[in-house]
A and B are shown apart, each in its own frame.
Chain A
Amino acid sequence: MLSHVHKALKEISKSNDFLQTTIDIKDIRLHFSYYKTLISHEQFHHDLLSFFQLSNGEIENVHDLKALIPIEGIKVLSNVEEIVQSLAHGSIFIQMDPSLDEGLLVDIADLKLGHRGYNDTENEYSVIGPKVGFVENIDINLSLLRRGLVTEKLIFEQHIIGSLSKTRIVIAYLEDITNPQHVNTARQRLLDLEFDVLFETSLLEQLITDNSNSPFPLFMSSERLDRVMYSMLNGEVALLCDGSPIVITAPVNLFSFIISPEDYYLPWIMGSFFRLIRYFGIAFSILATSFYVAILTFHYTVIPRDLLGPIIESRSNVPFPPLLEVLFLEITIELLREAGSRLPTKVSQTLGIVGGIILGQAAVQAALTSNILLIIVSLSALASFTTPIFKMSNTIRFLRFPLIVLASLWGGLGIMIGLMLILGHLLRLKSLGSPYIVPLFPFRHKSFNDSFIRSSFTFLSHRLSFTRPLSKKRFTVQKNKDIGDDYNNE
């Protein structure tokens, strides 16, 4: 009569990398079962086998074995399911008698296998500030967070999700700061989730988002350690997924996507200035080309006489209506961008030069577009890349297309209707149950310290209220005592 465990192991051993070996140590015969692709062989030989060999005492059952090995994560188990699970995660199963269910389960998974050790924050670059980013291995990510936020209040809560991938998802938050309501919402959505393989946190984001039919990202996704830490200390919940170098945090508002960590590393005047430039860039990028279409199709009287001359002149040879002209150039830019992101870095640089300079010049000379439009389109493409978060910059690039079409149909009214629809959509959106455009609606005048501008740290001593944190105060800024404010030098 064979044991259940034996049968289960037999079933798994169909797989080539599953090994079942017996090793004789002194007079005992030990049966090992493991995936050779998952365990650390070094640990197996050094930490396991050597200790068995060195032992002097009598070994009668697996409990004696357990006492011999100085490794954490050892369990004596007889539950088939749990054993199979642990084997799939890199444990080794040791039995003395294969006919019994009971055996020793030792976790010697090779954590470094198939993972990079470090990550430059290439996609969210900042000139000043740490360049440490998250990697694919969740344990390294967790230790990065643990080392960054040195407090016992940092809580990691693990869930296993994915019927095929059994991915480890970790909810990270700061107790006593994060509103437990957010943690509960996030946990509940995770528990309700049924999916096969979770490749990425961005995938997870779409599954647990508040509104999956929105072009706007409702979770902040970042690969920067400092950014995620900043979100967490403001009372947001972070979600990490094994196998993904991106961490998502929520609840967020629209304006946090325009914030770059660099704003806080530069003096507040510079930080605010750059942030305002980014807002201008977004407005320009969304509206510039649709304004061009609306004005040249319907409202050319809006242009003063002196300016009308050059515009008409540059368009005089173009045979197309403004809509086609704009769409042609916008799609060209989108093609360049898409091709650039699919190519290796070195090739894409060449492509940028070929596409940007040669194509643009040629298009104007061939009278496919006007000079002025070429300037507007390339400027708005440039402006769309100022957004620090990739997903938001995608959204902004996408939004201009419906606006261009609306502008060609109803001119300025069309643009306004498009903007109203976007506004109505934004008003409806919620991120993890919190309103999305929060300092504006619901109106929170205190949060304006850190939305459109980044004011001095004297005014930033409190957490943003939209996350409804349990403790509001972050720090106190004291005036440096050696700096006197007596301008009479007395």
Chain B
Amino acid sequence: MQNQVKENYTISGYFVFFLIGAPQAAAGILNFQSHVLRDAGQDSWISIILVGLSLHLIIWMIYKMLGNPAKDVIDLHRLIFGKLMGNAISLLLVGYYFIMALFYFRAYIEIIQVWVFPTVRTWAMAGLLICMIYYVVSGGFRVVAGFSFFYMALIPLLFLLYFPIRQGNIHQLLPVLNHSFLDLLKGAKSSSFIFFGLEALLIYFPFLKSPEKNVKWAHFALLFTTLKYTAMIIVTLMYFSQGLLKHTLWPTLAMSKIIELSFVARFEYFYIFMWLLVIIPTVCIPIWCCTRMMKRVAALQPRLSLPFILAALFIAALTVNERIQIDVLEKYINEIGFYFIFAYIPLLFIINTVALKLKSNVDKSFKDG
């Protein structure tokens, strides 16, 4: 295999738990509820479980087609579509990962502007964050992966759900399953965006040490995310009425506002600031993927491509400036992310399997003949 990753740049296979978990934790845990509720109402927690379970299949596919020997999607494209065509498709993926990074980046700046510093300029915030992203990504994949580990520091915040549960009403979850299966599937589609971030596995797969042995950690990560979001949505449904939820932009933050201890109030500030711990790896992983792909496809050194990509990110973040634009971006992202994960990856898997089958048949006939 060409471009084998050197041993000392690889990371332990179980780290995929954090690499998948961190971006999924960022993908709108603060405001996912209102999107999810639209179709499935109080049954939307079933929709989330449905998506979560179906994604295990996708992870299985990714591991199946990229493993043995470990390769990334660029190799796969070349293998299937030939060098020129494969590279072209890989370049399209650069755009995909860039838009992903842009969305999370812009969404976080928006939260800062709405909740904490209403007067802060977008460019100032974006510049500050971009300096940080540059520092992290220029440290290489190990640093990016290390960062994603530290989102575990936020897990204790989940226990703060106790406060809204105390105020909540379990009857708001009833009646269970009064939505049609089609509604549930629609809800599943609109809630699929909370699982975005796992498709970066396509790029960093060869950086994992003995990935096949550690496939369980990828599934654990997914399972953990599913459980987390299910718990969150159930608590949200218990706490808010559905009418109120439609008009609440960030339900998670609104729920955390009620927490008050003897020495601290306004907990949503902690949520927002601590969220940087998740946002940084969530933005850095796709950005790193972009530099990696540019290096592999266009032989562009990351030293050159990283400033270029970050400059593009900066400009793009400035152009998306209003709530409506961000909303449009979000809808757009949800669509292409959904089709990327649930259509493109299975398609690639099927083509790959067929191609392998054909190849082995050809080989066999060569041997026989």
Chain A residues proximal to chain B, CB less than 8 Å? 298-299, 301-307, 410-413, 415-417, 420-421, 423-425, 427-428, 440-443
Contact = CB atoms under 8 A, between A and B. Distances in A.
Contacts of A303: 263-265
B276 A420 contact: yes
User: In terms of DSSP, what is the predominant structure of the interface of chain B?
Assistant: helix
Main secondary structure of the interface of A (DSSP, over half): helix
* Most central of A302, A411, A421 by chain B CB within 10 Å: A302
Given A304-B260, A304-B263, A424 B136 contact: yes
By size class, the interface of chain B is: 35 or more
Interface string B251-265: 000000000111111
Given A424-B139, A427-B142, 4 more contacts: A301-B265, A303-B265, A305-B265, A423-B147
B220 to A, nearest CB: 14
B277 interface: yes
The 4 A-B pairs of least Cβ separation, nearest first, read: A441-B146, A427-B146, A412-B273, A416-B273
Nearest to B260: A304
Contacts of A442: 11-12, 15
A298 B270 CA distance: 13
A304 B262 contact: yes
A194 B15 CA distance: 41
A441 B273 contact: no
A424 B147 contact: yes
B143 A424 contact: yes
A415 B146 CA distance: 20
Contacts of A410: 117, 128
B150 interface: yes
Contact of A413 (B136, B261, B265, B273): B273
A424 B135 contact: yes
Given A304-B264, A410-B117, A420-B276, A427 B143 contact: yes
A420 B146 CA distance: 12
A304 to B, nearest CB: 5
Given A303-B264, A416-B273, A421 B149 contact: no
A299 B147 contact: no
13 contacts: A299-B269, A303-B265, A304-B261, A410-B117, A411-B116, A412-B270, A415-B273, A416-B277, A417-B129, A420-B276, A421-B135, A424-B132, A427-B146
Interface of B: 11-12, 14-15, 112, 116-117, 128-129, 132, 135-136, 139, 142-143, 145-147, 149-150, 260-266, 269-270, 272-274, 276-277, 280
Nearest to A304: B265
A301 B266 contact: yes
Contact of A307 (B14, B142, B263): B263
Contacts of A423: 147, 150
B276 A417 contact: yes
A421 B15 CA distance: 21
A90 to B, nearest CB: 46
Contacts of B263: 303-304, 307
Contact of B266 (A299, A306, A420): A299
Residue of A410, A416, A417, A424 contacting most chain B CB atoms (<10 Å): A424
Nearest to A423: B150
B257 to A, nearest CB: 10
A81 B113 CA distance: 73
Contacts of A424: 132, 135-136, 139, 143, 147
Contacts of A421: 132, 135
A417 to B, nearest CB: 6
A412 B264 CA distance: 14
A415 B132 CA distance: 13
Contacts of B265: 301-305
B176 to A, nearest CB: 39
B147 A427 contact: yes
A97 B198 CA distance: 85
A119 B131 CA distance: 48
Residue among A298, A413, A425, A428 with max Cβ neighbours from chain B (10 Å)? A413
A417 B132 contact: yes
A138 B126 CA distance: 55
Contacts of B129: 417
B116 A412 contact: yes
